Amino acid sequence: MEINILGIESSCDDTSIAITQNRKILANVTANQEIHAEYGGVVPELASRAHQQNIIPSLDKALKEAQLELEDLDAIAFTSGPGLLGSLLVGTSFAKSLSLALDIPLIEVNHMRAHILAHMIETEDQINPEFPFLCLTVSGGHTQIIVVKSPYEMELLGETIDDAAGEAFDKAGKIMGLPYPAGPIIDQKAKLGNPQAFNFAKPRMKDYEFSFSGLKTSILYFLQKAVKENPEFIAENLNDLCASIQRTIIDILMDKLEKAAKDTGISRIAIAGGVSANSGLRQALKEREQNLAWQCYIPKFEFTTDNGAMIAINAYYKFLEKDFCDLSVVAKARKALSL
């Protein structure tokens, strides 16, 4: 049986609408809000206003690409959290209206689970991991290690107690005077620098918890002192600084991921979220495929950023279980992985 699902993602910057047929993508349309680059970040109200403007054109485009009519859809899926409340509400209301008008099931999807299940999208150039696997989700707002036992059963092993890994990149960049978002710039410059040039203290965290707040402070102090002695220090050492900061953040991530793989005995390792585009992180995983016999799963770039396809694929699994919701469902800015 072929099941066509419309997936709506509006939790943050991007409005994205996808249509899937079982685990294959028929369309995945993202209206990127370039306006945010001018504002130096995610601006909540701008985000929700832009979602309102983007959502109908995105739907039209997705239907056209998929060569389907609204009547061909079997269910409407949407992100109900976590995210920015104003943005989530746009997608939630739109999904409810469509489901009501078309009289087809409504499926709510947890954004964090969807990031992980993006690995299950069927495409020619993506290998789907077998269950169980471990997933490291790293983005501007999240840093988590999850045991993915099935599409339905996931266990959070640990997460950040303060800043997210992506935030660590962006704030370290800010301290060095780089523009927002600094992550991709640091990645580029890191390729030209010596990752061992500078050492920054790593946090000692229990179990699978992460902390990046102390690293930010340690970079700040180091640079304040260095700039006092040589005002040109940052400019003269930018590549080495970027390489060393990137190496430190990745080391912190890898230490915990290695511990999780060892403790659970799982060697299928997936990464998800925007930071999985980082070339240093990808390299670190490749090394561990060699040294630790891991099988690593790195999603295609278009599935690492927020996208409607991951919402639709997650909803496909819920559809199979008839896990639908009614119109009383509400968006929630904070939402645990288990919900």
Chain contacts with other proteins (rule: CB under 8 A): 39-46, 82-86, 140-141, 159-164, 166-167, 171, 174-175, 213, 216-217, 219-221, 333-334
Write the DSSP string, 290-338: HHS--EEE---HHHHSS-HHHHHHHHHHHHHTT--B-TT----SS--TT
Nearer CB in complex with other proteins: 107/272 = 272
CA–CA distance, 180 with 165 (Å, rounded to integer): 15
CB of 297 to other proteins, least distance (A): 25
Residue with tokens 């929700």: 48
Write the DSSP string, 51-112: HHHHHHHHHHHHHHHHT--GGG--EEEEEEESS-HHHHHHHHHHHHHHHHHHT--EEEEEHH
Nearer CB in complex with other proteins: 4/160 = 160
CB of 226 to other proteins, least distance (A): 15
Nearer CB in complex with other proteins: 83/91 = 83
CB of 33 to other proteins, least distance (A): 13
CB of 128 to other proteins, least distance (A): 29
Residue with tokens 């389907």: 68
CB of 157 to other proteins, least distance (A): 13
Instruction: List the one residue out of 74, 162, 75, 148 whose CA is nearest residue 113.
Output: 148
Residue with tokens 């005077």: 177
- Angle CA 110–288–252, to nearest 5: 60
CB of 220 to other proteins, least distance (A): 4
CB of 190 to other proteins, least distance (A): 21
Nearer CB in complex with other proteins: 86/105 = 86
For 146-154, the CB contacts below 8 A with 24+ separation are 146/116, 146/337, 147/260, 147/264, 147/266, 148/116, 148/270, 151/117, 151/120, 151/314, 151/317, 152/317, 152/321, 154/113, 154/116, 154/337, 154/338
Check: CB of residue 201 under 8 Å from CB of residue 216: no
Nearer CB in complex with other proteins: 15/211 = 211
Nearer CB in complex with other proteins: 84/178 = 84
Nearer CB in complex with other proteins: 30/87 = 87
CB of 229 to other proteins, least distance (A): 15
User: Which residues are CB-contacts of 234 (< 8 A; sequence separation ≥ 6)?
Assistant: 176, 177, 223, 226, 227, 241
Nearer CB in complex with other proteins: 228/322 = 228
Nearer CB in complex with other proteins: 89/147 = 89
E strand or H helix that includes residue 38 = helix 35-39
CB of 246 to other proteins, least distance (A): 18
